[in-house]
């Protein structure tokens, strides 16, 4: 149910075409809510047929011209309803955690190298988030909208900080496991 709300949010921030939305998902919203190009276009069709968004009139009608969309009052009302509704937290579903649990019964072959790879990926993501924070949230940029967007980014920074610290701890634990043949790294 959240993809339509992510799209409504993005369109309220800036009316856009499907391609522009896809690019914006890749650059910002996709950090915490990903969607494929096909999912976005399918959802745009549903939102439009549901009366929540509309295609903006083209300045000059042209064949093959990309359609841009804007949110209608019903779409804003739906987003406000969804934003105010209570939702329970979701448990994380990370295959790495399940693989660690499985390693307890089948052995750890290959897992240490992947833990190191995950650590590097999380370190890179953390560095990227910190660059975004420095670039997009300088001191004094504190409108209510900026503060809320910064809170979302801080959640990403805090999650990546958690994962990097946890992976370092997991690798330390791996080094202390008795009787396992491990890769040298």
* Per-residue model confidence (pLDDT) at position 170: 95
> Could you tell me if 67 and 27 are in contact, meaning their C-beta atoms sit under 8 angstroms apart?
no
**Per-residue pLDDT tens over the stretch 30-73:** 777 778 889 999 999 999 999 999 999 876 666 666 889 999 99
Weakly modelled stretches of the chain, pLDDT under 70: 1, 59-65, 179-185
Other CB atoms within 10 A of residue 102 CB: 13
* Per-residue model confidence (pLDDT) at position 185: 46
* Per-residue model confidence (pLDDT) at position 183: 46
Other CB atoms within 10 A of residue 152 CB: 12
Nearest to 73 by CA among 51, 55, 46, 105: 51
Whole-prediction pTM value?
Answer: 0.78
């Amino acid at each position: 149910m959240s993809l339509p709300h992510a799209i409504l949010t993005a369109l309220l921030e800036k009316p856009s075409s499907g391609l522009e939305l896809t690019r914006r998902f890749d650059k910002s919203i996709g950090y915490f809510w990903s969607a494929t190009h096909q999912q976005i276009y399918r959802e745009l069709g549903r939102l439009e047929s549901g009366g929540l968004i509309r295609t903006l009139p083209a300045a000059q009608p042209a064949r093959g011209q990309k359609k841009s969309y804007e949110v209608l009052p019903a779409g804003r009302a739906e987003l406000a309803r969804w934003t105010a509704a209570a939702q329970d937290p979701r448990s994380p579903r990370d295959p790495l955690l399940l693989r660690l649990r499985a390693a307890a019964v089948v052995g750890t072959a290959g897992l240490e190298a992947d833990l190191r790879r995950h650590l590097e990926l999380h370190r890179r993501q953390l560095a990227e988030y910190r660059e975004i924070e420095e670039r997009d949230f300088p001191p004094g940029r504190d409108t209510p909208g900026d503060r809320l967007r910064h809170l979302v980014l801080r959640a990403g920074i805090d999650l990546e900080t958690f994962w990097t610290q946890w992976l370092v701890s997991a690798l330390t634990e791996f080094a202390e496991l008795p009787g396992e043949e491990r890769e040298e790294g």
